[in-house]
Structure 1
Amino acid sequence: MITKKPLSHMGESNIGWIKSTHHYSYDKYENPKYNSFGVIKVLNDDVILPRSGFHNHPHYDMEILSYVIDGELTHGDSLGNNKILKKDEIQYMSAGSGITCEEHNFGVNPLRFLQLWILPNKKLSNPNYMNYNFSLNRKNNQWIYMVSNKNGLAPVKVNQDVNIYSALVEKDKDIDFNIRENRQGYLVQIFGKSFVTSTYDKNHTVLLEERDALEIYEDNVKIQPIENSHFLLIEMNSIPIKIYQ
């Protein structure tokens, strides 16, 4: 089963230096229908103007991922990490028992990145940080495995049963993804435009445009871009679980 979530059903905020699309309730945007999806607590599509950013602030008990789409993200934290991330790089912070951080755009162009908060499977773990550049092994028209659980095979490993993939797919090329039994997925059309068809209900096809999303439940979907497209797909357990162990 697939359910489209168009951009018009998401929250929008613009306070000058940052413009955001909120897939789920966040800060002043509250939508009881979209408080979360599985273990996804926050998914923001942020655009930050040059010489702006988030000053030092704390986080606790959250797995936080930032995926750079365009521009440069400058990161600093209380663990002593100081990094500059560029297009197609991802950073991971396991906030655990507590971490403070700051994120800025010190570049000359707007910074666009996806900020993803995932509920962890254990509480008060040791804070951790890592970053990874996926442009080094990026190939068009296929899924790139970015994030897995601690026992998984992705370069970035988090404290939760979740798998995250991205793909750059050319116009008129097809790509598919199978969401197995008792699993669910969330597909984000970062840019471009595509048709997505349910394999289990071949009469059900939806059109995704830039910043639209799609909820997928136990289905094998076929994605057919009609423009060059960039996707993010988050796959997880669909059975209610105890978040903290």
Structure 2
Amino acid sequence: MLRKVEHDNMGTSDLGWLKSIFHFSFSNYYNPDNMNFGVLRVLNDDLVESNTGFDMHPHREMEIISYVVNGELTHGDNMGNENKVTRGHVQYMTAGTGIYHSEHNLGDDVLRFLQIWIVPDKKGHNPNYGDYKFDWEKRKNKWFHIVSSKNGKAPIKINQDVNFYVLELDKDNNIDFSVDKNRQAYLVQIEGSSNVNNISLVERDAMEIVEEDILIKANDTSHMFVIEMKKV
């Protein structure tokens, strides 16, 4: 099963300093028929103006991954962590029993990042923070596995049976992706445009994939993200 999700039909918010597209119900956007996709609870595509951001605030019982598309993202938390990541890099956090953190754009350019929340395998995990600065070339014309479960092989390991892959596919190139029985995946066209099993996707569109293999052809340079998980 494939279902295209057009970005024009997603939730939106414009606070001036922050412009967001919500793939699932979040903040002022509420749709009881669009609360999650499996254990994927939140996927926000955020644009944050320079010298603004999210001041210290709490989270609990979520696995939170931030993927920077452009600009720079500076993290701080009540455990004493503070670090900055830029294009193609990742911050991750186990909110667990409770954590306070902040996210700011202290750079000169608009920050664009994907904020992703995954429901954990159980409650009560100890809070944790980390970040990775990945070589961009590792995702050129091939899937780069960046997040897995604690039993998986990706460099970032979280408390859930999920896998995150990222890709930059050159124009006119093809690549496949398999979604096995009892598995499902959520694909995001971060930048560029492509055809997925002959379905057209443009920047910020998404696709739900359930137990089906896909073939992607890049119409132009395509920056893409896939979150693969157990079927729920």
Q: Same fold (TM over 0.5)?
A: yes
Q: 1:75-97 CA distances to partner (integer Å, 9 max, x unpaired)?
A: 00011100011111101100001
Distance 1:151 1:230 in 2: 27
- Normalised to the residue count of structure 1, the TM-score between the two structures is 0.93
Partner of 1:224: 217
Q: Does 1:66 align with 2:59?
A: no
Q: Which residue of 2 aligns with 1:20?
A: 20
Runs of 4+ in structure 1 off by over 3 angstroms are: none
Matching residue of 1:11: 11
Q: How does 1:142-221 map to 2 (within 5 A)?
A: 142-197=142-197, 205-221=198-214
CA-to-aligned-CA distance 1:182-238 (integer Å, 9 cap, x gap) = 0000000001010010xxxxxxx2100000000001111000010111000000011
Measured at CA, do residues 2 and 136 of structure 1 come closer, stay the same or move farther in structure 2, by a change above 3 Å?
Answer: closer
TM-score normalised by L of structure 2: 0.98
Give 2:206's aligned amino acid. Answer: A
Instruction: Check conservation: 2:139, 2:166, Cα contact below 8 A.
Output: no
Alpha-carbon offset, residue 58 of structure 1:
0.3
Q: In structure 1, how many angstroms separate the alpha carbons of the residues matched to 2:124 and 2:171?
A: 45
The alignment status of 1:118 with 2:112, answered yes or no, reads no
Residue identity in the other structure for 1:210: E
The Cα shift of 1:139 comes to 4.0
Cα separation, 2, equivalents of 1:53 and 1:39: 27
Q: Which runs of 5+ in 2 are unaligned?
A: none
Aligned to 1:200: none
User: Match for residue 93 of structure 2?
Assistant: 93
Q: Percent identity?
A: 50
Q: Which residue of 2 aligns with 1:127?
A: 127
Query: 1:148 & 1:66 partners in 2: Cα distance?
Result: 15
* Match of residue 44 from structure 2: 44
Structure 2 counterpart of 1:49, which letter? E
What code does the residue aligned with 1:168 have? E
- Map Cα deviations across residues 98-144 of structure 1 (whole Å, 9 max, x no partner): 10000000000000000000000011111001111122652411000
SS in 1 for 2:229: strand
Residue aligning to 2:230: 237
Q: Which residue of 1 aligns with 2:53?
A: 53
Equivalent residues of 2:88, 2:136 under 8 A apart: no
Q: Distance in 2 between matches of 1:37 and 1:167?
A: 21
In the alignment of these two chains, the number of paired residues is 232
The 2-side partners of 1:136 and 1:114 are apart by 17
